[in-house]
């Protein structure tokens, strides 16, 4: 590793305003590496510190970086109701093993406007009975919204947990037509 971090890659970031609050997007040359909810200054600073520790380089604020341009465009289009799928290169460096396997299945196998149960997702990756482990994978998702952990719900119809908060999950599911829009 050189002074630029893992494999000489730079990490760039920007904060994007959305209907669910500010999102921090971070990318490397390999793709989008992190999405962070509620990116206030304090949350942003903690997230950037974790990225620096994990990737071995200090993230650089670069909202006009070509590494972020397409991700920003697609996130904006998603929240405007103009995009249903993300077609972005993803850098999976922040997650591995079972969690990565589950998140890849989620990203490719649960489309916009659909939901899946924790147990169903466990079965899809060949681990029936691993519903709790799927919940852990959702909580570890470094790419929420783009890798749609908000689409994973409880088998009894409950909304389940969510790292971005239940109100954020409700808003994302309403955007996708799974839940009705809140009245106020």
Reported for 37-41, long-range contacts at CB under 8 A and 24+ positions apart, including other chains, are 37/144, 37/163, 37/164, 37/165, 37/168, 38/164, 38/165, 38/168, 39/15
6 flagged as catalytic? no
pLDDT at residue 158, rounded to an integer: 87
Minimum mean pLDDT among 15-24, 131-140, 155-164: which range? Answer: 155-164
- Does 2 score more than 80 pLDDT? no
Six token digits for residue 86: 């993300």
pLDDT at residue 3, rounded to an integer: 39
Catalytic residue among 27, 94, 149, 173: 149
pLDDT at residue 176, rounded to an integer: 96
DSSP β-bridge partners for residue 116? 152
Six token digits for residue 5: 């971090």
What confidence category does residue 183 fall into, taking pLDDT thresholds of 50, 70 and 90? low
pLDDT at residue 1, rounded to an integer: 42
- Average of pLDDT values for 78-92? 97
Which carries the bigger pLDDT value, residue 179 or residue 91? 91
């Amino acid at each position: 590793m050189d002074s630029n971090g893992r494999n000489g890659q730079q990490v760039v970031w920007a904060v994007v305003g959305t209907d669910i609050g500010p999102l921090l997007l971070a990318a490397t040359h390999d793709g989008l590496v992190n999405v962070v909810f509620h990116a206030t200054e304090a949350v942003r600073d903690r997230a950037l510190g974790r990225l620096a520790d994990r990737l071995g380089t200090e993230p650089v604020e670069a909202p006009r970086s070509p590494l972020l341009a397409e991700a920003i465009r697609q996130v904006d289009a998603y929240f405007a109701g103009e995009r249903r799928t993300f077609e972005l290169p993803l850098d999976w460096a922040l997650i591995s093993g079972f969690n990565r396997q589950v998140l890849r299945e989620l990203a490719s196998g649960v489309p916009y406007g659909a939901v899946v149960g924790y147990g169903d997702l466990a079965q899809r990756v060949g681990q029936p009975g691993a519903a709790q482990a799927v919940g852990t994978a959702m909580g570890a998702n470094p790419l929420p919204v783009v890798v749609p952990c908000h689409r994973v719900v409880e088998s009894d119809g409950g909304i389940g947990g969510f790292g971005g908060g239940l109100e954020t999950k409700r808003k994302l599911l309403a955007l996708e037509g799974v839940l009705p829009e809140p009245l106020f």
